């Protein structure tokens, strides 16, 4: 994967952790390719508050301090990797302790996104009552929901509201 996809994919990994989703194939592939052990609950508990604040402020377009706090606690170590045959950026050493690898990688990716990476944005799901975030790497940045479930739930609610208004 190229560096642009890499930043988007690490941002997805950050959002997946903050949303506390079931581990995805993307996450499994990342951990395997970079020889990262599955983080235990204690490891994640240390990282998650900082990561959540950094994801939230990236979705809101600032302030930048939460991203800088994550960068300070987990400073990225940037180098170029060619594993898998694709030249791409790495922000943490392969085989590193999971919290540190995740912290450095996510800090670097969120720093790129909050500074206006042209290919990737992070947003808050627009569905009523949903607290989840999403990564949008679509061409026209038209995404508004964390999932198809939230998108169709919102469409149905809007349809019902229109019908109710029409009957009134
Ligand atoms: Zn890699
Ligand atoms: Zn949602």
The number of folded domains in the chain is 1
**CATH number of the domain enclosing 27:** 1.10.3300.10
Sign of CA pseudo-dihedral 142, 147, 150, 153: positive
164 assigned to some structural domain: no
Query: Does residue 152 lie in a domain region?
Result: no
pTM above 0.75, yes or no: yes
**Domain boundaries, position 14:** 3-121
How many angstroms is it from 147 CA to the middle of ligand 2? Answer: 6
Whether 10 is in a domain gets the answer yes
Does some domain include residue 70?
yes
Closest CA to 57 of 107, 126, 118: 107
Ligand nearest to the CA of 84: 1
39 within some domain: yes
pLDDT tens column, 58-97: 999 999 999 999 999 999 999 999 988 888 889 999 999 9
Ligand index nearest the alpha carbon of residue 31 = 1
Asked if residue 60 belongs to a domain, the reply is yes
CA of 32 to the centre of ligand 1 (A): 10
**2-6, 22-26, 115-119, 133-137: range with lowest mean pLDDT:** 2-6
- Tell how far the Cα of 41 is from the centroid of ligand 1, in angstroms: 24
Q: Enumerate residues with CB within 5 Å of ligand 1 (an ion).
A: 81
């Amino acid at each position: 994967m190229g560096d642009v996809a890499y930043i988007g994919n690490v941002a997805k990994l950050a959002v997946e952790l903050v949303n506390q989703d079931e581990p995805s194939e993307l996450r499994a592939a990342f951990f395997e390719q970079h020889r990262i052990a599955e983080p235990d609950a204690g490891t994640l508990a240390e990282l998650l508050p900082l990561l959540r604040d950094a994801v939230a402020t990236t979705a809101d377009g600032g302030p930048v301090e939460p991203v800088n706090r994550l960068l300070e606690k987990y400073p990225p170590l940037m180098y170029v990797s060619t594993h898998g045959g694709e030249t791409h950026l790495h922000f943490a050493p392969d085989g590193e302790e999971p919290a540190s690898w995740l912290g450095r990688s996510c800090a670097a990716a969120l720093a790129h996104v909050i500074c206006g990476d042209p290919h990737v944005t992070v947003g808050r799901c627009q569905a009523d009552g949903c607290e989840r975030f999403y990564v949008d790497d679509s061409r026209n940045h038209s995404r508004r929901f964390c999932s198809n479930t939230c998108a169709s739930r919102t469409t149905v609610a809007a349809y019902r509201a229109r019908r109710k208004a029409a009957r009134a």
